[in-house]
Each structure stands twice: as C-alpha cells, then as structure tokens.
With several copies, the nearest count.
Chain A
C-alpha cells in the first residue's frame, strides 16, 4: 500500500496526525487511538523501528528507547489505562541502553555479546508471527469470503430412529441401584417376592383383561409341575392381597373363579 509511509498515528477531529521523526509530538486525543492500534509493546517497538526504515538488527537502541519512553510517559501523563506490559518493555530498553553505555566498547565482530541480541531475537520472532497473522487473516474465511449451504433435502423423512441398546447388565445394575437407594431410606415398602411369582401375577392380570373370568384350575397346568403350581398359587394369593383380583365360588365345591376386582364407584371419583 502506497500510503504506508505517511501512516497517521491517529486522527484528531478527522485530521490525520502524522508523527514527525525528529520531535516526537502526539496530540493527546490521538493516544487512545494509538493504544487501540498497537496490540502491545512489541508492536509499538516494531512500529518505531520501521518508522525509521531500519531493520530490526540495526535497531538504534538509544533513539528507540527515547521514543518509546516518550510514548509511555505521555500515555501515563494522560492517565490512560496503560498495560503494565508497556512499562516492562520500557525497563528492558533502559537496561539494554545502560549496558550499551558502559565503558566496554561494543565490537562489530562480537555480535553475541550485543546486549540487544535477546530483544532483537524477540522482535524477529514477533515480526514473523505478525506475518503469520497476516497470512491467516488473508485466507478466504468462512462467512466473509466463502459461504456454505445446507441445500434443502428430503432425506430426513427417511431417517429411522435407532433406539438405544440396553444390555441385561444395564438392567440389573439399574435394579441394584434402586435397591441400594431403598436400603438407604429408613423404611420402605418394597416386598421381596420371587420373580416368577411377580411374572405370574402379570400373566394372570393380562388373562383377566381379555376374559372376564378365569377359572382357578385353568391357572394350573400339569406341565409346570409342582413348582409351577406353587408359583401360580402364590401369585393368586398376592393378587388377592393387593386387591387386584377377586375370587368367587358360585356354590360349594364348584370351580373357583378369578375376576378383576370390581372397582368401587365411590373410590374412583378421586383422580
């Protein structure tokens, strides 16, 4: 970009403010703009170096330090909320400057001993990252340069839902959790019957929901043997006890009939 050389430091009442290299002067109003513009002390430092069209390795530490400190002082004077990081950098610069001013004259061929070396390395790394940031920024971005779409389709109508899997282990674990919970409670009404009895209770109830009556003897089959008969008998007793079924016998010695317990009109009003 061509306007790079006359890059304004900021804008005061619409007028661009351009820094004079010799005499640093920043109009107060521009400072907030500056603070927003620089992403940190490294950015400001890099800016000051480039301002003089110098390479990082040739950084004139005295001049740069003076300018940097002037910026920072100005910011502080104006009581702008200045990140402490700017002061840290000022201290680093001051330290380098003082080391350079020590009587030991710096030699051209002793680059490693240059007190600026560490800062230069950091600036170079920072500059590389700035470049990387720019590469990223210039990439075609979703939403800015590139748009995506989910084109209308009727596919969802065809999606069948797959119900979750449950294993027997999941189920027994769930049951033991329930049992543990109930054990923790002081008293509970959980009754412990053999599962076969409970299952038989369900079967009898189901039978009764289809037929009005089921004869007692129908509930016992020879095939099941003695154990089966016990299960059926206990199931019937339990059903009677829980007021789910009624037993009736028309006359002595006739077959006992099971029916669903007739529900009491008065009781059912509650709902």
Chain B
C-alpha cells in the first residue's frame, strides 16, 4: 500500500469511526499483514494533522486515540445548526398558566381541583423559569401551600400594561351559586 492510499484509509477510518482510534487500532483493524508498518501509520497521522492545520476541522490526539473535531473557535457560529425551532407548550401548561393568571393568587391544589388532574412539578418549574409566574405567599391551611401569581414579565411578554386588559371570558355568568359569591364591582361582562 502506498503512502497516499494509507493516508486516505486512515483519514476515512478516523472520520467514520464514532470513537477515537489509536495508531495501534488502525493497524490492527484496517491492514492485512505486511501492508504497512505501525511507523508508517504514525507518519501518516502526523501528516494528516498538518494537512488539517488550516481547516475548519482538526485532527487531535486525545487519551484513547485520534479523532476529528471541529475547531473550537467555530463552536459559537456552528450553534446555529442546532438552534431548534421553539416547541409548543402543552395544553396542560397553558391551562395552568391561564388559571394562575385569571384566578391568582392560587395554590397548586386549587389548580388541580379545577382541572381535575394533577399539575406536574415540571409545569410549575417551566412557568417560573419563564418568569411568568411567581410565589407570592402561602395559604394558611394545612401544609401552607404556596400561592402563585402572575408577574410583570408576564404582562410585558403578552404586551399588557395591566391584568385588567386580559379578555374577560368568564362563561359562568349564569351560574347562580358562583354569582352569589361574586364581588360585583366593575361589571362589564356581557
């Protein structure tokens, strides 16, 4: 095998193999007896390293062998390749958010009672990480559950200057029991 063929073979192997490969592994896995020496492989590895000196990828030696990797400086620019399109929030999350916004301050237990299903901790975490929901206190009932409310960031993100700008979508107007308990200020619902 001539040096160029050997170099091409090593290059392709290092490119295709998911883990780094040492000179010894390359020798054992790729070559038949007498085709090329270990020294020749080392020589070609050195040449490859120099071939890739000015390129977007480089051939580096790590503990378990050689591997190709993209040049570290390019990482930030390459991030664009993996920039995922934003996903969609689940209905469960949106409903939880809606309840916190419209019924604040509210405990998790109350949200669960209304929705009839338990609210995952992940949802509460996501809403708080997003900065839309915060804990404003504790309800003085057994267990002292946290009371959740919406934040100013929520208003900003939804382009609202005040919660009263939220559409009024109370569909329970005809519900007598509820109405009896209702505060009657500023009635503007249809």
Contacts and interface: CB of A to CB of B under 8 A. Distances in A.
Interface of A: 1, 3-4, 7, 10-11, 33, 36-37, 39-43, 45-47, 50, 53-57, 83, 85, 88-89, 122, 124-137, 139-168, 170-183, 185, 188-199, 201-202, 205-206, 208-209, 227, 230-231, 234, 238, 242-244, 260-264, 267-268, 270-271
Given A143-B87, A162-B83, A260-B140, 4 more contacts: A47-B184, A175-B95, A175-B98, A193-B183
B188 A3 contact: yes
A205 B149 contact: yes
A166 B92 CA distance: 13
B136 A158 contact: no
Contact of A40 (B72, B116, B144): B116
A166 B147 contact: no
Given A10-B190, A202-B149, A268-B142, A145 B72 contact: yes
Contact of B86 (A126, A141, A167): A141
Contact of A149 (B16, B102, B143, B170): B16
Nearest to A176: B169
A234 B95 contact: no
B18 interface: yes
B183 A132 contact: no
Contacts of A50: 180, 183-184
Contacts of B188: 1, 3, 7
Contacts of B54: none
Interface residues of B, number: 91
Contact of A147 (B15, B83, B88, B171): B15
B85 A162 contact: yes
B87 A164 contact: yes
B51 interface: no
A135 B185 contact: no
Of A167, A194, A227, which is in contact with the most chain B CB atoms at under 10 Å from its CB?
A: A194
Contacts of B101: 132, 136, 171, 175
Given A140-B72, A155-B70, A264-B140, A202 B105 contact: yes
Contacts of A1: 185, 188
Contacts of A162: 83-86
Contacts of B134: 206
Contact of B175 (A166, A192, A193): A192
B81 interface: yes
A208 B144 CA distance: 15
